[in-house]
Amino acid sequence: MKERIKNALEMLTTNKGEDWFTVLEEPKSEKIIQFTYDEGYGLQLDLPVVALQPEELEKAEKLMGEYGISKREIEPPEDDCCCCSDEHEHGEDCDCNCCDGEEKCTEKFESFNEKIESNDKAVEIAYRVFKEVYGMSDDTAINVTIFR
C-alpha cells in the first residue's frame, strides 16, 4: 500500500500546470484521502470530515494533530457542487443533502486541509490515515485516480 501511495504522489507532482487532483481510495469501503497539486503552489492534503465515521474522526484528529493539521471550515467551490459529481442526478430520492438539483451547494464543510511540504511527508500521512484511521492492512489495494 505504501509504495502505491508513493508512486501516485510522485506521478501527481511531476505533472506540469495547475489544478491536478488525485483520490486515493480503498474500493470496497470507498475510504479516501485526496491531494491537489499546482506547479506553482505545491501539494495540498484534503481529508473531508464527511467521509469519516465518528470513531475515524477521533483517530484522524489525533493523527493530524501530530502534524499540526486541524479541521478547517471550507467554502464550497463556486463552480461545482462540493459533494456530488456533475453526473449526479438530484431529485426526490437524492441523499446528498446539499443541493436541490437547480442550485449549487452553499453549505460550508469541514476538512483536514493543509499544504504539505514534501512528498515523503504526504506519503507518510496518507499511509497512516489508511492504517491508523481506517484500520487497513499493508496489503490493502488502493485505487488511484488522477485528473485535472
26-60 pLDDT, tens digit each: 999 999 999 999 988 999 999 999 889 999 999 99
What whole-number distance in Å separates Cα of residue 64 and Cα of residue 135? 15
Q: What is the DSSP string of 113-138?
A: EEEES-HHHHHHHHHHIIIIIS---T
pLDDT tier, 16 (very low <50, low <70, confident <90, very high otherwise): confident
Mean pLDDT of 65-76: 85
Mean pLDDT of 101-120: 77
**Pairwise pLDDT comparison (73 vs 96), residue with the higher score:** 73
pTM for the model: 0.78
**Pairwise pLDDT comparison (134 vs 73), residue with the higher score:** 134
Strands (E), 8-49: 20-26, 31-38, 42-48
pLDDT over 70 for what percent of the chain? 77
The pLDDT value recorded for residue 104 is 52
